[in-house]
Amino acid sequence: MKKICTSFKEAVADIQDGATLMVGGFGLCGIPENLILALVEKGVKDLTVISNNCGVDEWGLGLLMQNKQIKKMIGSYVGENKEFERQVLSGELEVELLPQGTLAEKIRAGGAGIPAFYTPAGVGTPIADGKETRIFNGKEYLLEEALTADFSLVRAWKGDKMGNLVYNKTARNFSPMIAAAGKVTIAEVETLCEIGELDPNYIHTPSIYVQAIIESQQEKRIERLTVKK
């Protein structure tokens, strides 16, 4: 059985200044919003955050950005966050932007224990500056190193007391890879099940990757509301 936390303060207690975090989510879909709020409240700083994007100005990782708790951001998209743009242009924030597929594979490789891989994405662009390239079958490829983190934060639809996780549709996004690539993975789940309730055939993240779990409901804000006129 995994550590079952009773508060989000307890869940993030071991995350200290200077930690490297991986955070699941795509836009606001599938983000561990309560774990993020707990980090905002705790006030940890100088964080390196690895995530597809940085939320929006007033929700998700955007709250950590607003509080200047993030020192470096590694991601693939920044378009929904004006404060992100401001901090980058002012030199307050270090940013490493990657092609989205490269980011996903760097995380997956980190979780699989693969230190590096070759990809054609980024060859001939500024992304390739200072990186090794190699020719395979007449085509040039770029060497990319894997990513890992001190802590991975993910959100799941259901989890059991062993730490097995099931995500809901597109809210799965980067989370299975991120859960595997963290030294310590903390999961917030909408429903905490007893051991044996989840069908083993449909587990997305096996319990071996999860060290702590907490049950809570999410606000689930909509990133960009579109309605019919």
Residue 81 has pLDDT above 90, yes or no: no
Detail the DSSP E strand segments found in the chain: 3-4, 20-23, 47-50, 70-75, 94-97, 116-119, 133-136, 139-145, 149-160, 165-166, 182-193, 212-215
Write the CB contacts of 33 (distance below 8 Å, at least 6 apart in sequence).
59, 60, 155, 218, 219, 220, 221
Query: Region 192-212: what's the mean pLDDT?
Result: 97
What pLDDT score does 224 carry?
81
Amino acid at 213: I
Q: What is the pLDDT of residues 40-62, one digit of tens each?
A: 999 999 999 999 999 898 899 99
* Dist CA 143 CA 6 (whole Å): 43
What pLDDT score does 145 carry?
98
If you average pLDDT over every residue of the chain, what do you get?
Answer: 95
Residue 8 has pLDDT above 90, yes or no: yes
Q: What does pTM read for this prediction?
A: 0.94
Residue 143 has pLDDT above 70, yes or no: yes
* Dist CA 228 CA 222 (whole Å): 16
Full DSSP string of 195-210: TT-S-GGG-SB-GGG-
* Dist CA 217 CA 201 (whole Å): 25
Q: Provide the 10 A C-beta neighbour count for residue 146.
A: 18
Query: Region 123-135: what's the mean pLDDT?
Result: 95
* Dist CA 84 CA 65 (whole Å): 7
| Ordered domains of the chain (ranges, CATH) | 3-116+146-215 (3.40.1080.10)
Q: What is the pLDDT of residues 94-121, one digit of tens each?
A: 999 999 999 999 999 999 999 999 999 9
* pLDDT band at residue 165 using 50, 70 and 90 as cut-offs: very high
Q: What is the pLDDT of residues 11-33, one digit of tens each?
A: 999 999 999 999 999 999 999 99
Query: Region 68-73: what's the mean pLDDT?
Result: 97
